Structure 1
Amino acid sequence: MEYENRDEYIIKKYQQDEATMIQLFVNWSLQNNLDPVQLYQRAYPAQSQNDALVRAVEEADPSEFEISNETLLDVLQLFGNDDLAFVASEEMEKLERK
């Protein structure tokens, strides 16, 4: 029984952390006048709509806090979202050229 509770805790904690990662990505995108859903689709064209991403966009307040490029890339890579980190880094390069 104790092991099930531990597993449930780990799963819940991961889901909370993943939601935070999505929120950071959405806020960073909106702060930079980018469409987070479009960027996600570029990174993962074979995936269907990500409901957690759509919810995060609806609830986003990009003025809440500023996310640096480095922080975003670190968090995306921490969660294994290398394709999304690559797309974000492409956008970062475009923003630097402006």
Structure 2
Amino acid sequence: MEFRDINEQIIQKYKEDETLMIRLFVQWCANHELDPQMLYRNAYPNQPDNAALLSVMEEDDGLDELQIDNETMLDVLQLFGNEDLAFAVADEIQRLN
């Protein structure tokens, strides 16, 4: 396998994992009756709308029954380097408690 093929596979795997992270975030928001787009804007006020987030929000992927606990959501966000969003989620967790 060539180096280029390996790089493409790594990039593809990261994109798939990132999409899963976004799906989990959207579902966590749904579980708590929060608007994921608004929460994202609160975390990243100077960024344009996130196309991947909007795409996931438009999909019906059948995760409705999935309950994502708060700690898992924070861990997943931090794993992908979304510290600002993790802080916004943590603030919402405190507000909800």
Q: Which range, TM-score by smaller chain?
A: over 0.9
1:64 CA drift (Å): 3.1
Q: 1:66 corresponds to which residue?
A: 67
Residues 28 and 67 of structure 1, relative CA distance in 2, 3 Å threshold: same
CA contact (8 A) 1:28 1:66 kept: yes
Q: 2:51 corresponds to which residue?
A: 51
1:48 CA drift (Å): 0.5
Report the identity percentage: 51
Count of residues in Structure 1 that have an aligned counterpart in Structure 2: 96
RMSD: 1.2
So what's the TM-score if we normalise by structure 1?
0.93
Is there any run of 5+ residues in structure 2 with no aligned partner, and where?
none
SS of residue matched to 2:52:
helix
CA contact (8 A) 1:30 1:62 kept: no
SS of residue matched to 1:63:
coil
Is there any run of 5+ residues in structure 1 with no aligned partner, and where?
none
Q: Deviations over 1:41-81 (max 9, x none)?
A: 00001110111101111125452311000000000000000
Q: Deviations over 1:23-47 (max 9, x none)?
A: 0000000110000000000000111
Q: 2:10 corresponds to which residue?
A: 10
SS of residue matched to 1:25:
helix
Moved over 3 A (4+): none
Amino acid at match of 1:23: R
So what's the TM-score if we normalise by structure 2?
0.94
Residues 93 and 62 of structure 1, relative CA distance in 2, 3 Å threshold: farther
